[in-house]
Amino acid sequence: MSSNETPKTVLLSGDPVQYEGTAGEAITPGHVVLYDGGEVEPGAAETLRVARERDFIGEGISSEIPSGDNVPYYVARKGDRFYCVMADAETLSAGDKVEANASGEIIAADTGVTIGVAVEDGDGDNDRIKVEAL
């Protein structure tokens, strides 16, 4: 499978703003995160903020960032695309509006806090899905 089908990075395209904070708990790159007073935690954000891989120290998207470590994350601008962690048993179609659940995983938008749109079809068998920021 090519990298176009299975990306090796969280940022697929665009020019998001990059920040860093301290992981309040273990975080996997691709989770939607919240920033609160220096701590970064997975959660249901109102803005698409995505934890990124720490490739600068040789880690990939499957390398968990431990609690207490620095976690780099992106704050999306409209049109930026990311390879995000998808909730188990979730089914999405390309074009569906999405939000993040309390665990920072992508789900179908149903609370009115839409943060993006699915770029591809995805189901519970997928670990990740491509998302475009709105």
pLDDT in tens, 61-83: 999 999 999 999 999 999 999 99
Average pLDDT estimate for 16-21: 97
pLDDT bracket for residue 4 (50, 70, 90): low
Domain that holds residue 35: 11-78
Clarify whether residues 89 and 65 are in a common domain.
Answer: no
Any domain includes 28: yes
78, 95, 110 - which closes a domain: 78
Provide the domain count of the chain: 2
pLDDT at 130 over 50: yes
Strands 11-13 and 81-85: antiparallel
Dist CA 125 CA 22 (whole Å) = 31
* Of residues 24 and 1, more confidently modeled: 24
- Nearest C-alpha neighbor of 95 from the set 114, 128, 121, 125: 121
pLDDT bracket for residue 1 (50, 70, 90): very low
Clarify whether residues 25 and 74 are in a common domain.
Answer: yes
Any domain includes 3: no
Average pLDDT estimate for 27-54: 94
